[in-house]
Amino acid sequence: MSDEPNLTDGHELIISYGDCELWGRCECGKSFGSIRPNQSIDEVLAMKWEKHVMLEVPR
């Protein structure tokens, strides 16, 4: 079995709050960094997650 992520692995966007920042990561473990709570989740973290799922994960 390969260590590469694929669509059968989990790929949900997970947002966590800590130290006055929102942290984004994929369920497979890929990190998307952090933003301040007043920034848009859609414009920063979700765009990085969408790119990951659509372009980086083998189908």
> Block means of pLDDT (10 residues each) for the chain, length 59 residues?
55 91 93 95 95 84
Q: In what order do the strands lie in the sheet with 13-18?
A: 13-18, 21-26, 31-35
pTM of the model: 0.76
Q: What's the confidence (pLDDT) of residue 58?
A: 76
Q: What's the confidence (pLDDT) of residue 33?
A: 96
The C-alpha atoms of residue 46 and residue 10 are separated, in whole angstroms, by 16
Q: What's the confidence (pLDDT) of residue 8?
A: 54
Q: What's the confidence (pLDDT) of residue 11?
A: 86
